Structure 1
């Protein structure tokens, strides 16, 4: 992967992790944690959208699918580690 592709992936991960942190019950896991949740969420979101039959294109589509994937990930984490 080129450095530019990595930077874009981290930026999308940061944005989607931040958005998911705002939309979920808590405030996320801090900057680094939100980036990790966003990047993992991007993978989950991409597979989820493909499974549901939606085509994800463009930067906005990537951010939306990554945010949805991050929300699914945060929901799962909250179910597992519920206080």
Structure 2
């Protein structure tokens, strides 16, 4: 992660990012060792970032720390009130 996170921070349009290496399952073992969230203005901005030269560097670096690959999930966030 010491190489990967600096690459991530150079992605264009990145608004915020968060990660955890303390991943636990409520039942059984989790198949994941880390969770990472990247925040972009919208899906188009995320796509542009992932296809940019910087995004391609990030994708190429995944194999250096996640030998099983990575799963990318896109989800729009709904803000709660109250």
Bigger helix share: 1
Compute the TM-score of the two structures, normalised by the length of structure 1: 0.29
Bigger strand share: 2
Compute the TM-score of the two structures, normalised by the length of structure 2: 0.29
